[in-house]
Amino acid sequence: MRISTKRHFKSGFTLLELLVVIAILGILSTIGIGSFMSSQVKSRDARRKGDLHTISQALEMYSNDHGGMYPLSHDPNVSEAIKGVPYGCGTSTNEACSWGDIFGNSNVLYMSALPQAVNGYGEYYYYSADGGSYTLYAVLENTLDKEVAIDGYYDANGDGSLDDCGGESCNYGIHSTNTSLPTPTLPPPAP
């Protein structure tokens, strides 16, 4: 009688093979989630830039109707006036507009709603104007964006604060065609 020396192995995966597959899946999912999150940040920033551009177009229409003047960013007759929004809504040029509300008056509608910033990061836009020119500010999440104020921020209301854009430092701005963006302010040195 002859004894077979062949061993019969059960087919299947070894523990090492399973660990390698799990590691590869983990790496791929990390890369995928990182790319997804990056595209979400860029999408929100693109919306912020688009909102400011749309507001800018409405401000230019306002300027055409008001002899080249832009709405002020504060009521000059009131010391505690709301800052950071255009004045020129309602029946008076001294009535503050609100983000998310109509920008216009009883005669003309410039925007059906002033856009509100994307919630969760730099939740506010900031408007600064002296009548002859304006600047709009926002916070971009992607600090590597080529249009972000490098190593600084915009002091939108000129008081030296770092929280003009809803508790955040404004790092992006656009301006009227007859002026330029102010030079970004360097952040204070770390203690």
Give residue limits of the domains in the chain: 19-175
Q: Are 183 and 175 in contact (CB under 8 A)?
A: no
Q: Cα(first)–Cα(last) distance of the chain, in Å?
A: 89
Bridge-partner residues for 172, per DSSP? Answer: 138
Q: Residue 148 has what pLDDT?
A: 84
Confidence band for 54, pLDDT divided at 50, 70 and 90: very high
**Mean pLDDT, all residues of the chain:** 81
Q: How far apart are CA 170 and CA 66, in angstroms?
A: 29
Q: Taking the model in full, what pTM does it have?
A: 0.76
What digits encode the pLDDT tens for the residues 100-141?
A: 888 887 788 888 888 887 665 656 788 888 888 998 988 888
Confidence band for 8, pLDDT divided at 50, 70 and 90: low
**DSSP code of 145?**
S
Q: Residue 53 has what pLDDT?
A: 93
Q: 114-147: b or e for each residue (b if 16 or more CB lie within 10 Å)?
A: bbebbeebbebbbbbbebebbbbbbbbbbeeeee
